[in-house]
Amino acid sequence: MSSTASEDSSNTDLIENVHNTLVWLKNNPCPYVAGPESLKKRASVALIVRVQPSYAHPPDKAAAPADSIDSFFAQDWVKYGEPEVLFIKRAARKGDRWTSHVALPGGRRDPEDKDDQHAAIREAAEEVGIELSENTCIAVGNLPQRIVTTSWGRVPLMVLCPYVFLVTRHDLPPLRLQPTEVASTHWVPIRSLLDPGQRTVHTEDVSNRLANQETGIKKWALAGMLGKMEFSAIQLLPAESLYCHESPTDDSNHHKIAPPRNILQRLLNFARSPMLPPPPQNRPLILWGLTLGVVADFLDLLPPHNALELWTYPTFTMPDVRLVIWLTTYRFRETKRLQLESENHSGPPAAAVEEGLDAVSLPDNKRGSDVGMGGLGSGRSLRGQSFESAVGTMLEGYYACMRRGVTYALLCRLLGVGTIAALLWFRRRSLSMALARFKRL
């Protein structure tokens, strides 16, 4: 009995925190970000929150959907429910920069969309078949808009506009997945997103990051010297998943094994008993990059407000490159840490960037958060009249420092190789001279 009472208390505390956060977002809309004049592309995503009823507190099936945030959370079944967020895993598509990524429902704004929020509503209906209408949900508000960049922050791609929706129906119809866009959907408890034990890192091939910057031998040489990039991430633990068997996946060719070209190997295989290939391994769902940045903005508003302590700056896996980058960016990171501590104690959140890419220079009145690969936020309470991404503050200018660190690391390698080559040459020359003197004797 005491265990059940403790769980109920924990649930009600989280529900109350989510309630307060959604009310705050409703009353404090984030400003519109126009972006640079040359940047016309805009995209919207939907962060959809639902409350899953508990077994002990079922909902009243005859009750009509709530028409406000307060009336929704006033229901008994909601007070003891489990709040969850909807994620999708995108279908595997060749040439798509977001292929197989964990993401939020959404996509590019079309000319017929009347605004950014309408684009999020339309994309959610097209991708997962969820109607974000007044009969199904409440449009809560928006999270900070941001300029998505590439080439380590130097090239803006689009303005991303996240919107938050609260599902008010307990009997939401089954999702309908678009095969070419979505491989699976996952309802993930907010509790697990806040769990420090689910924090991890994601490594990304550097050649993917250099795809639009370098080509040919130079691209693969840099990838070989730098190793992989490492980003903050969260391993998702879904409470409910739905898979689209029509969608292409990374493992679609797993069962196709090319026959060996060697004749001897073919004979050996023929002599052996036939064996089926092992089944594909279940890959964990990793939330990282741009989507993590959006989710982090939401998590920043929820207790215990400790996301900054769980976040790490992006770096590389090569030990020497990692060390040089750490040394090069040390003063920068300390300055940002002190800046955030000062802001957390003195006033509203300040402008920020997120993990991925540098800030694009904009006038102060048009400045928004610039992101590429998202990270966890800094953690702060609900206060002030503005809310902007905190990881952005930490990463604004970081990639310029990291590029310098990469340059220094490569120069150190060249210097080390040159020094070793010189020592070997002098040693060989000394041995040759000694051998020549010995022969003369």
Q: Which residue matches tokens 């079922």?
A: 58
- Average pLDDT value for residue range 137-158: 83
Domain hosting residue 301, numbered range? 1-247+285-344+372-434
Instruction: Tell me the Cα Rg of the chain.
Output: 26
Q: Is 40 domain-assigned?
A: yes
Tens of pLDDT along 53-69? 999 999 988 888 899 99
Q: Is 217 domain-assigned?
A: yes
Distances (CA, A) of 61 to 53, 170, 412: 12, 8, 68
210: pLDDT strictly greater than 70: no
Q: Is 84 domain-assigned?
A: yes
Q: How far apart are CA 46 and CA 119, in angstroms?
A: 9
Structure tokens at 431: 């041995």
Q: Is 119 domain-assigned?
A: yes
- Give the chain's domain count: 1
199: pLDDT strictly greater than 50: yes
Instruction: Report the pLDDT value the prediction gives residue 378, as an integer from 0 to 100.
Output: 33
Q: Is 257 domain-assigned?
A: no
For residue 126, what are the contacts with CB-CB under 8 A and spacing of at least 6?
A: 107, 178, 181
Burial (CB count within 10 angstroms: exposed 0-12, middle 13-18, buried 19+), residue 348: middle
Q: Is 353 domain-assigned?
A: no
Q: Is the pTM of this model over 0.85?
A: no
> DSSP class of residue 196?
G
Bridge partners of residue 315, in order along the sequence:
230
Q: Is 365 domain-assigned?
A: no
First and final C-alpha spacing in the chain:
98
Q: Check: CB of residue 349 under 8 Å from CB of residue 280.
A: no
Q: Tell me phi and psi for residue 22, to 5 degrees.
A: -65, -40
Burial (CB count within 10 angstroms: exposed 0-12, middle 13-18, buried 19+), residue 49: buried
In 3-state terms, what secondary structure has residue 425?
helix
Q: Which residue matches tokens 């940045």?
A: 293
Element (DSSP H or E) covering residue 70: helix 69-73
Q: Which residue matches tokens 């409910």?
A: 240
Q: Is 115 domain-assigned?
A: yes
Can you give the CATH number for the domain in which 44 is found?
3.90.79.10
12-21, 86-95, 249-258, 263-272: the lowest-pLDDT one: 249-258
Bridge partners of residue 354, in order along the sequence:
none
